[in-house]
Amino acid sequence: MDPTDAEQACFEAGIKFGSLYHQFAGTPVSTDSARSLEQAIEEAIENQPYCESVTVDILDDEVEAAIDHGAGYTELTGSLMEVSMTIAYEGQTVETSMEMTDGYPLMAIDSVDS
Please give the chain's pLDDT, 114 residues, in tens.
999 999 999 999 999 999 999 999 999 999 999 999 999 999 999 999 999 999 999 999 999 999 988 899 999 999 999 999 999 999 999 999 998 999 999 999 999 999
Return the sign of the alpha-carbon dihedral for residues 33, 36, 39, 43.
Answer: negative
Q: What is the pTM of this model?
A: 0.94
In this structure, what are the phi and psi dihedrals at residue 50, rounded to the nearest 5 degrees?
75, 0
| Inter-CA distances, 40 with 1, 34, 43, 54, Å | 38, 10, 5, 11
Structurally, at CATH architecture level, domain 5-113 sits in 2-Layer Sandwich (3.30)
